[in-house]
Amino acid sequence: MDETLEKLRNINQLRRALTHLVTPASIVAAVAILFGTWYFMYLFDTFVTSNLKALPGSALELAIPYYNVFKQITGKMRERIISAHEKKGSIVRNVPPDKISIADLDTLQHLLKLTDIPKHKATYSRIQPIEGRPAIAQSLDPEDHRRLRRVIAPAFSIKYLMGLEPLLLQVCRSLERKILSMPRDSDGYITLDLFKAMHHVAADMIGITTFGGTFCLVENGQHPLPTSVAQIIKATAIRIAIPPFARDVYNKLVYDQINDFQYNFIKDSIHKRQAANANANDGVYTDILQWIVDHGDKGVFDEVDMVNMARTMLTAGGETSANTMAWATSLLVSNPSTLERLRTELDDAFPGSPNQALPLETLKRLPYLDAVLHETLRLKPIVSKVYREFEKDTELSVRDDDGNPKTYTIPAGTMTYIPIAAVQTSSKVWLRANDFYPERWLNDTNTVTEEEVSQFGIDGNAHTKSSSGINKSKGGHWGKPVLCNKQAFMPFSLGARDCVGRNFAWNEMRIILGHIIRRFDILPAYDTSVEVPGVDFIAYQISRPDGLPIKLKPRV
């Protein structure tokens, strides 16, 4: 009994002692000590022991943990990388302990075209809609990527895509009818949000070519599938940025619901097409969906492959064209002389009624239209960066701001951004780097033709054809800017992993922009002296609260 009482007294004494020790002040002190210790180790690793400590970078930004996470989830990573390269040079250290960014032109050509530096495993595994079954854009295995590309590439050949022209023109006509049905202001103009309109028409073009019919977004303004694209793009950007423990929670609360909806909708579209094919009375389909289904029926694709292919078209194909068209319009209305020159070219090429359909074959031959598109893609690339990874220790020779070579050792496992936006807008690479100046793409004969991918080899490398006239100015490098540097133009990436659907995107953009400029007089309905802001959630897009308000009047 006495022993029991003694133990109870000791326990009570201990409890009282702990009560005095564990106070709010002591808890705060303990947390501060733990954080201080962790932060000291973070700084020590970042600035003392890191194998990348020799690379230039902002000491202040490197000293702020999760600085890039904040920039990523707020859509401002594009500006952060551009600024870093302008201030620190062609190679910069972005995020401790193992992330860098490379904007040196010769180095990028070597890494992407010759070495084919692999995608960053940690990043691309996070953005796979179906874990372990990546679509072509997320594929990490070179053999799997070649397999997918070998099968789908012919569906994006020039010849096959020309057969889709009537479908694209059908959607473009639908947009014109929608605009003409809207109420007019007292000055005869129609005001609409062209940012939203471009997304609607691009989504309907994807719908009619890949899902068996338009989503009727142009007419009705609503459809759950294209709406889910914007949602999943932002959700994916957040998944890339946040740490693993938070990612699992975010997936369950947000991402998985959007992802499951997309998968089931696309699967149903495929099943409907397969059922229609079984009914001989339904006719013969020649769109991209049919290409996908045919290869599923042959056993080349399973259901997941087919869904992934269609989903890639929905996300990559629609967003690239829609956002490029919105940015092009904003740049044109801010530069009236450029807009007038483009309209004159279209009027000369199509001297009849403004109401006529504009054949793609003629649109593809218009040098100033292509120059405007090139310049828009240079200034506002929709994908501002891609992610690669060094598999082994690598010696890199890059140029400093004076153009002199400098060598760094990059350890295995280092992730590097390929900063497309920084390369394409740097004053160290381009003269008049931040000016919207389409004339830079014209040669002495005022002609320019986009180099279109005519076929793809089994290795996935693109073979291009180009008519004479494109400005192929070379000789520039980091620290030696030139007016036009084709080597620094990479809106669809470079090498074996460049965008397989680029021809489709070019066709969409030529048709949409050509018809809008030819058919309507255009004025801005906002203050063009204020730069149009953008936000970068995987795709770089306009972020004005009211979109892109534009005034249009039918031409006669």
Binding-site residues:
499
Residue among 375, 374, 385 at smallest CA distance from 435: 375
Q: Which two tokens stand for residue 303?
A: 């259901």
pLDDT of residue 283: 59
Neighbours of 180 (CB within 10 A): 13
Cα separation, 408 vs 554, in Å, equals 58
Output DSSP code: residue 315.
Answer: I
b (16+ CB within 10 A) / e for 267-291: eebbeebeebbeeeeeeeeebbbbb
Q: Per-residue pLDDT tens for 330-361? A: 999 999 999 999 999 999 999 988 889 999 99
Which whole-number Å values give the CA distances from 238 to 71, 189, 243, 273, 530, in the listed order?
Answer: 10, 40, 10, 34, 29
Helix and strand numbers, DSSP H then E, in the chain: 23, 13
Residue 505 CA to residue 415 CA, distance in Å, equals 29
Burial class (CB in 10 A: 0-12, 13-18, 19+), 334: middle
| Stretch among 170-174, 448-452, 500-504 having the lowest mean pLDDT | 448-452
Closest CA to 503 of 112, 152, 108: 152
Span 249-303, pLDDT tens digits = 888 889 899 999 999 999 999 999 988 888 866 557 888 888 889 888 888 888 9
What are the φ/ψ torsions at residue 418 (nearest 5 degrees)? -100, 100
Is CATH 1.10.630.10 the right assignment for the domain spanning 50-346+355-554? yes
CA gap 72, 240 in Å, rounded: 8
**Residue at 68: amino acid letter:** N
Q: Tens of pLDDT along 273-287?
A: 988 888 866 557 888
Cβ neighbours of residue 313 closer than 8 Å, sequence gap 6 or more: 206, 209, 210, 288, 501
Mean pLDDT of the chain: 87
Q: What is the DSSP letter of 317?
A: I
* Burial of residue 69, with CB atoms counted within 10 A of its CB: 0-12 exposed, 13-18 middle, 19 or more buried: middle
What are the DSSP calls for 136-162, one per residue?
TTT---HHHHHHHHHHHGGGGSHHHHH
Average pLDDT over residues 461-489: 68
Segment 102-156, tens digit of pLDDT: 999 999 999 999 888 999 988 888 877 776 788 888 888 888 888 888 888 888 8
Question: Quick one: pLDDT band at residue 376, thresholds 50, 70, 90?
Answer: very high
Where in the sequence of the chain do the CATH 1.10.630.10 domains occur? Answer: 50-346+355-554
Annotated binding site for heme: 499
CA 193, CA 387: separation in Å to the nearest integer? 33
Q: What is the pLDDT of residues 156-168, one digit of tens each?
A: 888 888 889 999 9
Pairing status of strand 539-542 against strand 534-537: antiparallel
Residue 68: closest CA among 48, 47, 93 = 93
pTM exceeds 0.85, yes or no: yes
**pLDDT tens, 206-241?**
999 888 889 999 999 889 988 888 888 888 888 888
What is 183-194 written as a DSSP string?
Answer: PP-TTS-EEEEH
Contact, 112 vs 423, CB < 8 A?
no
Percent of the chain with pLDDT over 70: 89
- State residue 212's pLDDT score: 82
Q: Which helix (H) or strand (E) holds 539?
A: strand 539-542
Please tell me the distance from the alpha carbon of residue 451 to that of residue 280, in angstroms, as a whole number.
Answer: 40
